[in-house]
Amino acid sequence: MADHIGQRIAARRRARRMTQADLARASHVSLPMIKGCERGVRSPGPSTLEAIASALGVDPSRLDPAHVGTGRRVHAALPAISAAIAGYEIALDPPLRPPAKLREDVANAVGWRLAAQYGLIAAQAPQLLGDALAHLHSASGTHRNEAAHLVVAAARAADATAYKYGAHDLSARLIDVMRWAAGQAGDADLDASVAYVRAETFLATRAHRLGRLMLERALDSCPSPNTGRSAAALGALHMRTAVVAARAGAADDAYNHLNDARTLAEGLPEGIYLGTAFGPSSVRIHEVAVAVSLGGDHIGQALDIARDWRPGEEIPAERRSGYWIEVARAQLWSGNPAEAFKSLKEARRHAPQHVREHPWAREDIERLRRIKRADESLTSYAEWIGAV
């Protein structure tokens, strides 16, 4: 079976015009593992298979028909993630890995989160959280700030997985861990980053007015930015506030926050700042998100952007995928189901695990099937996403 899996990986890779090194970078899997899998001398485990499949833009079952599915494995890991943070304020066991190894592993988890590789995160999160917390409890002096940042990054990776798979109570507790750890760092930029993530709690419960108030208070507490890092942290918070304000129906406030984010992005290269993508392209993606959240007459603005622009590789896969899901919704609402389906297929190409767990993608596929039931490719997509 491993030989057949390797042949499928190689065929998909060549179809995407990727080298083995390209695939290794995109999947966060070592080059020797990629080469071994394709030769049939190594067999990828479920998490590795999911990472490779995500980088290739296919469901893992296309590479291994016996694959049981990411969702099942993620849900099985959630109790262990919950246990890892049950007593986060209490020092219990010493860390199992040295600081250098912890930094490397947390950086990998951040990369998996940005690439929407939730299966990999779920497999590693319990021990990673335990070690990050243990390091923070044992750190002192200048090392304490770095240890707090590592806890926030590890908890955020776990939170992304919990949130996407509907474990919103666990997500809220992971955000509490982030807020507690950020308080140990004394870093205003990190506080802004955690406030950005905390907005998930209000989005999940549709408490948009309350979320908008929380975010605006967080913005008020941010000092004036004096570095690129602080400008990016503040700009990202404005982007998130714009979306929440739009969901609350406050169009003027939403566009004001977008304008503030756009100003802060001027002169900043698109990049990852404290684990969040920010820059001119990210602001443009949020312009689409705000227009779709407001709906009605604003949809035309989203369509205008999508007509002339598409996010490049400088944007993480999860955010590129989210952009195409938003565009698909705008196209569907504007009476163009064919283009909407193209956009949903594009979203899947960038981050399959993200699309499969996105409620809007599932809702829109269901609507598309009601419009055009005889389309076999649409039915296949609906079966893949779980809409039938």
The residues with which 273 forms a beta bridge, in sequence order, are 276
Write down the pLDDT at residue 1: 41
Report whether 317 contacts 306 (CB < 8 A).
no
Q: Enter the pTM of the model.
A: 0.87
CB 153 within 8 A of CB 275: yes
Same domain (yes/no): 172, 91: yes
Residues 79 and 58 in one domain: no
What number of other Cβ atoms are within 10 A of residue 113's Cβ? 23
Cα separation, 57 vs 325, whole angstroms: 15
CB atoms within 10 A of CB 354: 25
Whether 116 and 172 share a structural domain: yes
Residue 175 within a domain:
yes
| Residue 33 CB neighbour total at 10 angstroms | 17
| Residue 8 to residue 25: CA distance in whole angstroms | 19
Domain count across the chain:
3
- What span, in angstroms and rounded, lies between the C-alpha atoms of 371 and 108? 42
Structural domain contains residue 264: no
Which pLDDT score, from 0 to 100, does residue 29 have? Answer: 87
What is the model's pLDDT at position 188?
96
Q: Tens-of-pLDDT digits for all 388 residues of the chain? A: 445 788 999 998 999 899 999 999 888 889 999 999 999 888 888 878 888 887 887 778 778 877 767 888 899 999 999 999 999 999 888 888 999 999 999 999 999 999 998 988 999 999 999 999 999 999 988 899 999 999 999 999 999 999 999 999 999 999 999 999 999 998 999 999 999 999 999 999 999 999 999 999 999 999 999 999 999 999 999 999 999 999 999 999 999 999 999 999 998 999 999 999 999 999 999 999 999 999 999 999 999 999 999 999 999 999 999 999 999 999 999 999 999 999 999 999 888 889 988 999 999 999 998 888 777 888 888 888 887 7
Instruction: Tell me the C-alpha distance between 121 and 77, whole Å.
Output: 10
Domain identity same for 91 and 181: yes
Picking from 266, 320, 312, the residue whose alpha carbon sits closest to that of residue 288 is 320
- The closest of 103, 126, 123, 107 to 115, measured between CA atoms, is 107
Contacts 24+ apart (CB under 8 A), 32-38: 34/9, 37/2, 37/5, 37/6, 37/9, 38/6, 38/7, 38/9, 38/10, 38/13
Average pLDDT in the chain: 93
Rounded to a whole number, what is the distance in angstroms from the first to the last CA of the chain?
Answer: 29
Residue 324 forms part of a structural domain:
yes
User: What is the rounded CA–CA span in Å between residue 249 and residue 233?
Assistant: 25
Please report, as a single letter, which amino acid is at residue 311: P
Based on the domain organization, do 26 and 116 belong to the same domain? no
As beta bridge partners, residue 188 has none
- 162: burial class by Cβ within 10 Å (0-12, 13-18, 19+)? buried
Task: Confirm whether 226 is domain-assigned.
Answer: no
Is 5 within 8 Å of 61 (Cβ atoms)? no
pLDDT score at 72: 84
257 and 245 Cβ atoms separated by less than 8 Å: yes
Q: The domain spanning residue 56 has which CATH number?
A: 1.10.260.40
Q: Are residues 79 and 180 in the same domain?
A: yes
- Asked if residue 56 belongs to a domain, the reply is yes
Does residue 217 fall inside a structural domain?
Answer: no
Specify if 331 maps to a domain: yes
Cα 133 to the center of its chain, rounded Å: 22
- Same domain as 88, residue 175: yes
Instruction: Indicate whether 110 and 176 sit together in one domain.
Output: yes
pLDDT digits (tens, 9 = 90+) for 162-220: 999 999 999 999 999 999 999 999 899 999 999 999 999 999 999 999 999 999 999 99
- How far, in Å, are 91, 246, 251, 308, 384 from residue 317 at the CA level? 36, 24, 28, 20, 19
Domain end point (choices 186, 204, 226) = 186
| Whether residue 74 is found in the same domain as residue 64 | no
Residue whose token pair is 């499969």? 356
| Alpha-carbon dihedral 344, 350, 352, 356, rounded to 10 degrees | -40
DSSP classification of residue 65:
T
The answer on 99 and 8 residing in a single domain is no
Indicate whether 89 and 117 sit together in one domain. yes
Domain C-terminal end among 135, 170, 186: 186
CB contact at 8 A, 368 and 340: yes
Whole domain around residue 4: which residue ranges? Answer: 1-68
DSSP three-state, residue 194: helix
Q: Alpha-carbon distance 368 to 332, whole Å?
A: 8
Let me know: does 272 contact 114? Beta carbons within 8 Å: yes
- The last residue of a domain, from among 119, 151, 186: 186
Helix (H) and strand (E) counts in the chain: 21, 2
Q: Are 78 and 165 in contact (CB under 8 A)?
A: yes
Listed residue (54, 109, 52) closest to 357, CA to CA: 54
Residue 267 lies in a domain: no
Statement to judge: residues 45 and 78 lie in one domain: no
